[in-house]
Amino acid sequence: MAAEGGGKEMNEIKTQFTTREGVYKLLTHSEYSRPNRVPFNSQGSNPVKVSFVNVNDQSGNGDRICFNVGRELYFYIYKGVRKAADLSKPIDKRVYKGTQPTCHDFNPITATAESVCLLVGFSAGQVQLIDPIKKETSKLFNEERLIDKSRVTCVRWVPGSESLFLVAHSSGSMYLYNVENTCGTTAPHYQLLKQGENYAVHTCKSKSARNPLLRWTVGEGALNEFAFSPDGKFLACASQDGFLRVFGFDAAELHGTMKSYFGGLLCVCWSPDGRYIVAGGEDDLVTVWSFSDCRVIARGHGHKSWVSVVAFDHCTTSVEDGDLPAEFSGSDEEFHEQIHFGVGRDRANSAHSRLSKRNSTDSRPVSVTYRFGSVGQDTQMCLWDLTEDILFPHLPLSRTRTHTNVMSATSPPATGQTTTTTTTTTTTTATATATVPATNPSGTNGKDNTSNSSTSGNPPNSLPSTLPRSNSLPHSSNPTGGSTPNSHTGSSSTTAAAASSSTTTTTSTSTKANSIIDSAFIATGVSKFATLSLHDSRKERHEKDHKRNHSMGHISSKSSDKLNQLSSTRTAKAEAAKTLGTLLCPRMEDVPLLEPLVCKKIAHERLTVLIFLEDCLVTACQEGFVCTWARPGKVGLLSSQNNPANSPSGTVV
């Protein structure tokens, strides 16, 4: 893996990689950048961001791309896997003075071949509404910086709206705007509308309609990114204080929260069906959070630096609503009470109906497989699969015979009840643990439990033989908090400690333990998954590094530098100490740890963009290069005619 070592292989840029679907290839002639293709000197500049829109052009070439590089903003026809990029003919190019574009977003509802509405946020706090096709600048919001003087971190159109948009700032505030309203000539006055734990929503007091309509104050420090759920009803916010907060958008009510392992959260995204949220940040991890259960269900460790972008792949994600298998004969009525989110984001609809066919690699029916990706400041791209043994650890496949039913006594419940731990539970756990051959010569130190389980060298004892192996470490069968007896040997004391520390009542507004109809999923081609055994020793080192650095000071060291003066470092340390080991932030050994399917170095500078499209995936780095990776079988004419040297130039691993 390009992620490992410090030698020459670190500088080798991968141009293709293989997953179970086939080979993804970098299309060098489809690279978008500044017209001169000169690498941008990224020191001190804002991250390169990319936005797409489809204008429903009758010619079949309706995709448009916008990206910012330094002080410049470009707008091109995006030809993707079909034709080579022509950088000499941008539809629009803008160069700004005194401020830099930081983020942008198209309105997919109003986009036509003759006109598109593009919002652009800036480093000085302004938001501009432009039409890069008509070459018009229609409006400038927060022009006098009376609303907020801090950098715009994220801007999004409200789903389904032609006029409402939401803007987040590094001050920690979000503002709801209406394009029809002015911003006024004086600073706005606010009136409290709703207040909750570490958030408040204010309305703007004014005799006439003016912006902003609402001001959200969320957490402490910068609000780095937010994302609307696919149905537009919920809003997930990733903040520099390390908290993920999920709100009901219309009612401005807090649905649930999650805390990073340490440091700030930098990015967040929703699964296409709205059931799961993935967040990444300064703890170098990707964290999977269940919307219905309001708890962490898995973490992924593959990056060596901060995770800058996470995104779900709607074309490889498969969710089948099949018949309930015969094994489900218990009290799982929640399987019938599903939350149906529409996949209403642009581009998701056409591919979603074909998802299940693409993943049916076995005669057994596939029910649930989520694919998501992440890119980071370590210049690496990781792809992850979230499979049934992670999503549904309570599958009644010989559970009672393998003694893993004792986990129910030590795991935080999904039904909002308080967990209680008794001496009998601990004894039972210890007995179940003793049935596994001891593979922990270093003792029962809680800091080493995770790494020891990953190097146990005893796969049959790691998971029941009837369960499918996924791209996760051996203790992936653990549903929530508490140690898995079959993978953590000699850890009865840790199990008891984890159980006692997780006696927290969840604030979930939904009590659905499992919200997707499930049927048996047997993964074929396990050898094509992430190398489970080859890198166990490496993962052991990384896990020990995570644990070794895990002091109270280290938890807040990265985030405290950027926090506002709202709280002291002492407060941040105290908060971290309170949350670790609870439902907000389970310990590393308490949740399954995913390994990436793919982990490749694909750039020389830090990566800032990852977008999944129907025929390809798009990445971008801070040098200003926007790269297109063709999906398996989607290379088309571009590879065979315009770029004959593309295939042999890459490295397939």
Instruction: Give 194-235 pLDDT, tens digit per residue.
Output: 999 999 999 999 989 999 999 999 999 999 999 999 999 999
**Residue closest to 391 by CA, chosen among 486, 308, 506, 271:** 271
| Cβ neighbours around 416 below 10 Å, total | 15
**Contact assessment for residue 148 and residue 125, using Cβ atoms and an 8 Å cutoff:** yes
Query: What Cα–Cα distance (Å) separates residue 298 from each residue in 230, 260, 391, 393, 409?
Result: 21, 12, 9, 11, 19
Between 231 and 1, the higher pLDDT residue: 231
Token pair in block for residue 181: 């309203």
pLDDT score, position 616: 96
**Contact assessment for residue 637 and residue 82, using Cβ atoms and an 8 Å cutoff:** yes
Report, in angstroms and rounded to the nearest whole number, the Rg of the chain calculated over CA atoms: 24
What CA–CA distance (Å, rounded) separates 41 from 555?
Answer: 32
pLDDT (tens digit per residue) in 513-570: 333 223 323 233 333 333 333 334 444 444 444 443 443 334 333 444 444 444 444 5
Q: Which of 211-220, 322-331, 398-407, 453-462 has the highest mean pLDDT?
A: 211-220
**Contact assessment for residue 600 and residue 381, using Cβ atoms and an 8 Å cutoff:** yes
Q: How far is CA 5 from the centre of its chain?
A: 26
What's the pLDDT band for 38 if we cut at 50, 70, 90? Answer: confident
Give me the residue label for tokens 């581009």: 347
Helix axes 569-579, 552-560, angle to 10 degrees: 130
pLDDT (tens digit per residue) in 234-271: 999 999 999 999 999 999 999 999 999 999 999 999 99
**Contact assessment for residue 275 and residue 517, using Cβ atoms and an 8 Å cutoff:** no
Bridge partners of residue 285, in order along the sequence? 301
What CA–CA distance (Å, rounded) separates 242 from 229?
Answer: 20
What's the pLDDT band for 388 if we cut at 50, 70, 90? Answer: confident
**Strand ranges for 70-162 from DSSP E:** 72-77, 92-95, 101-106, 118-122, 127-131, 136-141, 152-157
pLDDT (tens digit per residue) in 114-138: 999 999 999 999 999 999 999 877 8
Stated as kind and residue range, the H or E segment containing 25 is: strand 22-32
| Cβ neighbours around 387 below 10 Å, total | 25
Query: What percentage of the chain has pLDDT greater than the value 90?
Result: 52
What CA–CA distance (Å, rounded) separates 347 from 315?
Answer: 10
pLDDT score, position 572: 56
What CA–CA distance (Å, rounded) separates 310 from 238?
Answer: 12
Query: What Cα–Cα distance (Å) separates residue 313 from each residue in 79, 432, 629?
Result: 20, 39, 13
Report how far apart the first and last C-alpha atoms of the chain are (Å, whole number).
Answer: 8
Helix axes 492-501, 423-434, angle to 10 degrees: 140
Token pair in block for residue 266: 């930098």
Between 629 and 635, the higher pLDDT residue: 629
pLDDT score, position 389: 87
What CA–CA distance (Å, rounded) separates 423 from 425?
Answer: 5
∠ CA 150-374-234 to the nearest 5 degrees? 60
39 phi and psi angles, rounded to 5 deg:
-60, 135
Buried b (16+ CB within 10 A) or exposed e, 28-39: bebbbbbeeeee
Token pair in block for residue 84: 């080579």
When pLDDT is averaged across residues 423-441 and rounded to a whole number, the result is 35
Bridge partners of residue 244, in order along the sequence? 238, 258
373 phi and psi angles, rounded to 5 deg:
-130, 165
Listing DSSP states for 517-586 in one string gives -------S-GGGS--TTTTHHHHHHHHHHHHHT-SHHHHHHHHHTTS-TTS-HHHHHHHHHHHBTSSSB-
Listing DSSP states for 488-527 in one string gives STT-HHHHHHHHHHT------S---S--S-------S-GG
pLDDT (tens digit per residue) in 151-209: 999 999 999 999 999 999 999 999 999 999 999 999 999 999 999 999 999 999 998 99
Stated as kind and residue range, the H or E segment containing 356 is: helix 355-359
